[in-house]
Chains A and B, each alone.
Chain A
Amino acid sequence: MDSTSLKAWIPGGKKPWDQARAAHLLRRTGFAPTISEVRQALLDGPGKTIDKLIDTTIDSQRHDELDEIGRGIAARQDIEALRGWWLMRMRYTTRPLHARLALMWHNHFATSNAKIGSPPMMLTQLRSIEKYAAGQFFDLLLAMSKDPAMIVWLDGALNLKGRPNENYARELFELFSLGAGNYTEKDIQESARAFTGWSQKNSVYRFRQREHDEGEKIILGTRGNLNGTDVCSIASKHPACARFIASRLLHEFVTPAPEDQLVQNLADELAKSDMNIAESLRTLLKSEAFFHASAYRARIKSPIEYVLGMARSLDLDVPAQLLASVTVQMSQSVFEPPSVKGWDGHRAWINSTTMLVRLNAAQHAAEMVQKPEDFFATPLSADGTSDIRSFGDLLLDGRVPAPLVQRLKALDTSKAAQAHQAINLLLTSPEYQMA
């Protein structure tokens, strides 16, 4: 297997479609699988499982019910409640990959309610992100350029003819589409002119014709009376954009340190599909690179992956707002990313403070498990490979490290208190911190 190849991975021999690989796929494309989801994936095989993940037509009653109440919650101007609402949707969605994509783009187009001060506008932005998350990147970039929250966030209302404000144009190139080094200061200045007049009123996008600069601009080599839509089109077709987005996707779904060749391979795939995210992801998720050993548990779980993962895997009856408040303590506060660059992720998730919160959260989660002894009905075998019914299988794909096996075996998991301890050991293990 080649860690940079997008060639389809074919299970067999020493690399079968097994529990660990199924769990790896579901963990990366969702928020930690339940036992039944792993079992279903094992039955379906990788191809069908990935196709189902990408399918947007799968219904989820609970998710749809939650969708309906989102507007009312946002109207209350209560960002804490809206945060809980989003986490609850992530937890109960049957379209986990799309929920992951929305969270990824929220980080990519990082916009904070700390400045916006309007949960309804944050919700509007999220709805836009969800609508375009898996489609053509150009549509998403254009939607974000017209998004009222983004306009407030990057001072679109101050971008006027004759007095262009470069904030949005700069971030569009640097953080949203091309990455540093692929444009000039002149490109930013000219793009800012193209976006003049793109404003909002009463939280709705509004084009102020009189404030728009109709003059000729030259942006990334293209000349004309260009406007914001043209800038989005030029940027999304630029070769650097494919590499930039490929890198983003690889960081999110495969590895925090993708090799250049893999980035280029995925960039080519993106370019081939006219920057279609879903189609490129389908290729990526089915690839040798995705199932390569170097990708397995290579990323540190984000707080949301960690907390929602525990809630989902252990089927904890815990209110979403409480889950959300724990993720905030771990420094991932959705709707309020720390800056326009979003969260750094990976190693930045772990420090002495957040690790303590993780340990406390794990202990609480372990203690919330009802009848924990039932989960240990099948004892762990010496090598850690045992039936899926055990927690070791559920939480660590059956690959429980030998020292941990020894510690678990010292506990009498037929007794509730010691079973809780055993779950806590698994949840706080270094392996469980990795996605």
Chain B
Amino acid sequence: MKTAGSILCATAVCFCTVPVMGWSPAGAIETSTTEVALASADIEARLLAALPKDADVRIMLRDGDGLIHRLKAIAGSPVVTDSQWWDQITSNPELSQARLMLLGVASVAKTDAWSAVGSVLGDRLAVGVNFDDETGEPHYVIASLSDNTEVRDRVMQQVLTFVTGSNELKSNQIVPIGDAFYKSTNDGMIVFSNDRAMIKKSTGRANATPDARLMATVAKQVPADATIWTQVSSSFIERAIESEGNFSAKANEPLQGFLFGDWLHAIDNSRDGLAWLAVDDDSIRLSTVIDSDMPMPETHSGLLSTLSDGPEIWSGSSIEGYAGQMVISRDWAELFSERESLLNVVGAGQAVDFTSTLTSLLGGLDVMDDVLPAINGPINLIVARQNFESLGFKPNPQLPAFAMITPLDMSMTKNLALRLRSGTLSALSVVSLEMANNNQKVYAIQMGKHRGVDIVWSAYPEGDGNEDAGMSMLGPRFNFAPCTAIVDDHFVITTSIDLMKDLIDLQQDKTPSLEVPSAASGELLIESTGLASILQDNKEALIADEMLKKNHSRAQATQNIDLMFTLLDMVQDLTITSTPSESGSVVATAELRFNDDLLQINEDD
């Protein structure tokens, strides 16, 4: 086979060569070897021009070849290859057959299977999808430009000869491959589609008019190291919202409205949705932006950006069994006062009920006037595995312990600490009374100190409840034994005394605090080791669920749960940060860090 000419593309990200002509199986070389420097933005503009102008979703894969090599690294990792589910995948007859075919094609094309796939994905690959209004069926166009046209063209030659039995194909000739169609343009682009009309219209002209607004947005938002970006059109978001029926930016329950009100607002007024993925040697970062036409209400802004010298955010990472934490930054007093504009009638009613109940429980302390305005920093939720051994019983399921840490300006309300403490006692007594009325075991409420800090806590008397049904079957509520304390102007509620003690130790030992981006309205951190240990405690329950909900045998269910543990074993931690902006857009970034450089490309491979 003879090679087509190529264009040398100089970009801020990478240099690549792009063939002027596609592969010509007839052997004729239609060529002029012109090397022209093109910016990566120009390549993306050309590929975007090959997609339908009104695409609902556009996806751009940068450096597909590199991605394939990272996948190769994952597939070669012992974590994967030693797992039972990998054996299952590799022994699947259909996959084996496809693998053999790929190996055959690659072998004839004088390359290896990974390189064959990578060469077809190319340096840039764009996908445009339109969803049928009635059936929802996707109609797609995939366009790719590659710097390694030699390998790509050899691979495609083998595929096309195998599929069509012909070697007389020309540029722009549309060839059916299974349910899809293929063509190579005369300027080096290869195109696939499942829609003949779409592929016919698709051209990869170098002078094609790019979507200027999209290109500007991508240039502004998507970092150069992003491996994939995708854009969802506003019309598609609108249709998706319509299909949901009664979507409203006004939430139907307070927690949803107060926590995700910024997202609801952005989606309701969205122009575009843009997401991108960046892959490093040891992590994957996924970012999403919902762009909105309407400025964001102040109530949704994070508190952190307005706090010049806010209280420290405790980090739970040094606690044994730490599984993660969530930091939520809101002006709660303002949120509650704006409830009617953020929540629907039902939600607003629930918010009022909630504050009224708390007000009653806190005995004379008005939640709206005395407590919420005193919150002077982000609310911090910490999750850690519970060790039930010291309690003498194990409930089912074994849930982690939770802690809520609320920083308070004690000067805002007279005797706030004292009143919160007495309110806690009242609340625990009421809960206990309710449990007794329902013929359930009640808490033993106690008071004491840990390292000088006063604690009010509740506990199930040791051994009590073990005789439930004569089978030691303790239900989920045995995971919860509420506990409160005021620690350094923080009101702390935990579901176990052990976690409370750990938190007091943490604070008194001056453990480093957590750094959260200043503009963030919320951050979620998950530590896989802690999470895995919690799940491990409940493995039997997870298997039982899998058997019941998926109609699986124990062996099948165990295999699925083991797969989950295998995947979790690859991960070190996950951080998700959400940041609203005044302009009305919201950005969420999720960073997944892997263990052992799982994604690192081994150059020796």
Taking beta carbons and an 8 Å cutoff, which residues of A are in contact with B?
A: 62, 65-66, 69, 71-77, 81, 84-85, 88, 117-118, 120-121, 123-124, 148, 201-204, 317-321
Contacts and interface: CB of A to CB of B under 8 A. Distances in A.
A76 B551 contact: no
B471 A124 contact: yes
Contacts of A84: 548-549
B470 interface: yes
Contact of B554 (A65, A118, A124, A321): A65
B469 A121 contact: yes
5 closest pairs, A vs B, by CB?
A120-B469, A202-B467, A75-B473, A75-B396, A203-B469
Contacts of B410: none
Contacts of A148: 469
Interface string B471-487: 10111110000000000
B193 to A, nearest CB: 27
11 contacts: A65-B547, A65-B553, A71-B473, A75-B473, A88-B547, A88-B551, A117-B438, A120-B473, A124-B470, A204-B467, A319-B548
Interface in B540-563: 540-541, 543-545, 547-551, 553-554
A203 B541 contact: no
A201 B395 CA distance: 19
A317 B547 contact: no
Contacts of B396: 72, 75-76
Interface of B: 395-397, 438-439, 465, 467-471, 473-477, 540-541, 543-545, 547-551, 553-554
Contacts of A88: 547-548, 551
A319 B467 contact: no
Nearest to B547: A69
A249 B203 CA distance: 77
A62 B552 CA distance: 10
A20 B540 CA distance: 43
A343 B554 CA distance: 33
B395 to A, nearest CB: 7
Contacts of B465: 202
A74 B395 CA distance: 12
A77 B467 contact: no
A73 B469 contact: no
A120 B551 contact: no
Contacts of A321: 548-549
A319 B549 contact: yes
A12 B540 CA distance: 52
Contacts of B550: 319
Contacts of A69: 540, 543-544, 547
A203 B540 contact: no
B470 A203 contact: yes
A232 B476 CA distance: 37
B469 A76 contact: no
A202 B553 contact: no
Contacts of B540: 69, 72
Contacts of A81: 545, 548
A75 B474 contact: yes
Nearest to B548: A84
Nearest to B396: A75
Contacts of B544: 69, 72-73, 85
A124 B469 contact: yes
Nearest to B471: A71
Given A317-B551, A319-B548, A203 B467 contact: yes
A321 B549 CA distance: 6
A300 B544 CA distance: 33
Contacts of A71: 471, 473
A5 B395 CA distance: 55
Contact of A62 (B468, B473, B541, B553): B553
A75 B549 contact: no
